[in-house]
Structures are given as structure tokens and as C-alpha cells.
Amino acid sequence: MPSSRLALTLTAVVLGAVAAGGSAAQAATPQIHAHRGGTVVSGKAKYPEESLAAYKNAARNDFVLEVDAKLTEDGVPVAIHDATLDRTTNCTGEVRTFTLAELAGCRTDVLGSPGSPLPTKPAPRPARIITIQSLLEYARRAGATVNLEIKNVPTDPDYDSTPAFANRVMDAVIAARIPRSQLIIQSFIPANLDVAVQRLPGVATSLLGLQAINEAYLQVAFDSDYDIISPEWPVSADYVRRAHGNGVDVIPFTLDSAADVRAARAAKVDELITDDPLAAARTMGLRRARAFDATVFFDGRRMIAVVHLLGPRGVSARQSCRGTLLMRVVLAGRRTQQVRRKLSRNCDARFGIRRTPPRLGPPQVTVLFEGNARTLPELDGPKVPLLKAPSFNP
């Protein structure tokens, strides 16, 4: 994210800011955001930046999907961090000089995030650049939360001082019909957040800051009634306390070492942004289940889910089998039903919900294990239910 030139520019923004919070739930285990999709998995470069594969993997464990929005020549918001294609793709030049159709020929050809302290390597299967709308539509079906940056900053050549850039991004947000409860809009520039609130009242807003302006931006967040401050790490426990005292949550970036994750947790940050979500989770004592499977099928007028969880290695069944399952049904792009059920002591469950009318088409169903003190959440889906019950092995 940061650069010294951007820090100097944002300092000017702070000095010129005109004053126009949310609740600060101080969770013992901060929620984890997968930075640019979470390109690294337990120390190994695994996914291209901002690729659909990275986001699907992050959604599997209910990590927040952190993504950047840049505009193509024809004004389509796409998921890419830089103003140029050079660092992460096999193309060169500015994103704004390519139409969406022309970008279809470009591929993200590196795993990991070049420039971060974590490993990178060439991608054996380069990934397509995805649109913001398509990512948000996937998140809507999966029930995932997205932290979307309007990447309109004065140090980039595509900077637009008018509301046009932010409005283009918000056009895609609104077209995707993602619920406000599944969305955070973040930006280094307050004016971008103000556009987001105008276009989508009630959406959560997060003001990004850099070391040089973290303190000044904290006051801007208070004055502008933003929900979140997202400072460049490190910040002190006193900084976090003052934010919470004014009703503002704290989500620092980018924490890629175990020491930083431990320090952030000790400072009582609400959430944190990292390139390696699984490593951060493990530092906080959370581990991924060995297996999670949900079979969903129609049975008369009911839609049934049969679920089994195999807990993490080294975690007893008594510990790993605690928690709640959430089945969500999305029909015609909108959530229509959901139901919760506790996981049994045997780490399984069978439960159901009323079947949606066949005339309305096939539903998309997800089943989420919401996790517990030792086990990360696990998601299965979105999927279309089977037409009849399968045969289960005893």
C-alpha cells in the first residue's frame, strides 16, 4: 500500500480536510482480512494477487476479502492494486489505457505479492484479471464480507479529483447487489468514502492511513463519522483505546509476521489485514479443519444438509466439535432463507429448511461452520442442491 510520496500527499489532504461511529467490539481474536486475496498460505506463495482463486480460498475460512478497484479505459472497475500492469501481470502499461476486452489478454503471472516481505514465485497457471462486480457477486452468493478499496489516490496517474472515479466503483457495487452487511468501503482519500456513503447510505467506511499521518487521520475519522480507521502498522495500544473511545474500530495493515500479529492482538485491534491469513490465524491459536463437507439435497418440500467436520490435527473432538452451522439460500441473486444448527458432539449434523419453489429456478446454497476458539470457520459452497438424497456410507 504505502509510499513516501503518497504519505506526503495525504498529509496535505489531512491539513485540508473539512469535518463533515460505529461500535468498537474488542474481540479477543481479531477478524482476519485476506490482503489482495491472501496470496501466501502458511509461508508459501500460493495464489496470484486479487485472483478469483485467491478469494475463493480466503472465503473458505470466512476471511474478509480485501480488494482494490482500478478503472479500465472504458470505465469498468477491475481487481488490481497498481495503476500499471507491470508488477503482477504479463502485460505492461497503465490499467486505464486498456479496455476490459483488451485486459482479457493479460494474466497475473506471479504467485504471492512482489514487494512484500513474503515469498513469491512464477505462476504455473496465470490468472485472469477479474471485475469488481464479478467478485462482489461471488461474495454475495458465498456470504463473504468484502473490504473494497476505491484506489483513487493522488500519486497514481489515473487520479481523478472529481467524484467520477468513486462513482464508477459504486456503480459496480450497486449493480452487484451485495448486502451492506457484507461490505466495507475503504480509501486513503476521505472524498472517496463520502461518495460511497452518498451512493449507499449505511455502508461501513474505513479510512486508510500511513505512518506519517496515522495520528492526524484518526481525528479525521472521528470528525467525519467513519466506522473504521485502518492505519499502517504499527500503532500503540493507546491509539486503539482512543479510537474505541470515539466509537471507531481499528483494522491495521499489513501484518505479515507472527510478532506483529501478537502485538496487534495485545493492543486489542478489532481486525487485521495480512498477506498470509492462515499463518496469522495459527499465531492466534486457530487452525484449519482437516475436512469439512456439506451435502445438500431436496427431500420433498425440504432442502436438507448433511454435514461432517474433521477437526484440526492436535485438537480434540470435544474442542473441535463445538460451534454453529449456518445454511444460506440465495435465489435470483438475493438471500431468501437461512437457518442455524449446532454441530453435534460427533462433529456432524443433519438439518433442513423449506424448499424454494422450483419455478423460481435452482437456488445457490452455502453451509458455513462458524468456527470456535480452536478451529477456523469452514465454508462449503455455493452449490446447487442435488435433486434427490444420495447414498451415505454408514
> What are the pLDDT digits (tens) for 149-175?
999 999 999 999 999 999 999 999 999
Of 85, 109, 83, the residue nearest 3 (C-alpha): 83
* pLDDT of 389 higher than 60: yes
CATH code, domain carrying 83: 3.20.20.190
Residue-range definition of the domain harbouring residue 34: 23-283
Whose CA is closest to 267, among 249, 287, 279, 286? 249
Within-domain flag for 5: no
Are residues 366 and 243 located together in one domain of the fold? no
Asked if the structure places residue 59 within a domain, the reply is: yes
What does the alpha-carbon distance between residue 64 and residue 336 come to, in Å, rounded to a whole number?
22
Q: Does residue 245 sit in the same domain as residue 303?
A: no
State the pLDDT at residue 19. Answer: 37
Question: Is a pLDDT exceeding 60 seen at residue 2?
Answer: no
Distance between CA atoms of 294 and 352, rounded to whole angstroms?
12
Same domain, 114 and 182: yes
> Could you tell me if residue 211 is inside a domain?
yes
Residue 14 CA to residue 359 CA, distance in Å, equals 55
- Cα 265 vs. chain centroid, distance in angstroms? 19
What pLDDT, on a 0 to 100 scale, did the predictor assign at position 23?
36
Residues 302 and 271 reside in one and the same domain: no
Q: Could you tell me what percentage of the chain is helix, strand and coil, using 3-state DSSP and rounding each to the nearest 5?
A: 30, 30, 40
Residue 309 phi, psi dihedral angles, 5° rounding: -120, 135
- Within a domain: residue 218? yes
Residue 274, all three cell numbers: 495480512
Q: How far is it, in rounded angstroms, from Cα 49 to Cα 108?
A: 7
Is 7 inside a domain boundary? no
Q: What's the CATH number where 336 sits?
A: 2.60.40.1930
Same domain, 112 and 161: yes
> 110-153: per-residue pLDDT in tens?
999 999 999 999 999 999 999 999 999 999 999 999 999 999 99
Cell of 127: 490468472
| Whether residue 83 is found in the same domain as residue 146 | yes
How far is it, in rounded angstroms, from Cα 51 to Cα 66? 11
Asked if pLDDT for residue 95 goes beyond 50, the answer is yes
Task: Please tell me whether residues 314 and 338 are part of one structural domain.
Answer: yes
Q: Do 109 and 229 fall within a single domain?
A: yes
How many structural domains is the chain composed of?
A: 2
pLDDT of 82 above 60: yes
Q: Are residues 206 and 104 in the same domain?
A: yes
pLDDT score, position 8: 59
Look at residue 10 and tell me if it is in a domain: no
- Neighbouring residues of 318: CB distance < 8 A, sequence distance ≥ 6: 345
Domain edge (last residue) among 225, 253, 283: 283
Look at residue 80 and tell me if it is in a domain: yes
Indicate if 232 and 353 belong to the same structural domain: no
Q: What is the reported pLDDT for 13?
A: 56
Query: Which of the listed residues 243, 265, 283 is the one where a domain comes to its end?
Result: 283
pLDDT for 11 beyond 70: no
* 392 lies in some domain: no
Q: Specify the pLDDT at position 336.
A: 84
Same domain? 330 vs 229? no
Mean pLDDT computed over every residue of the chain:
93
Confidence (pLDDT) at 135: 98
Domain match, 111 and 245 both: yes
Distance CA 35, CA 2 (A): 14
Mean pLDDT, residues 239-252 = 98
Please, which residues have CB within 8 angstroms of residue 275's CB and are 6 or more apart in sequence?
A: 35, 36, 38, 39, 40, 112, 113, 116, 118, 254, 256
Where does a domain end: 250, 283, 316?
283
Spatial contact of 158 and 83, defined as CB atoms under 8 Å apart: yes
The contacts of residue 172 (CB under 8 Å, 6+ apart) are: 69, 76, 77, 131, 132, 133, 136
pLDDT of residue 391: 78
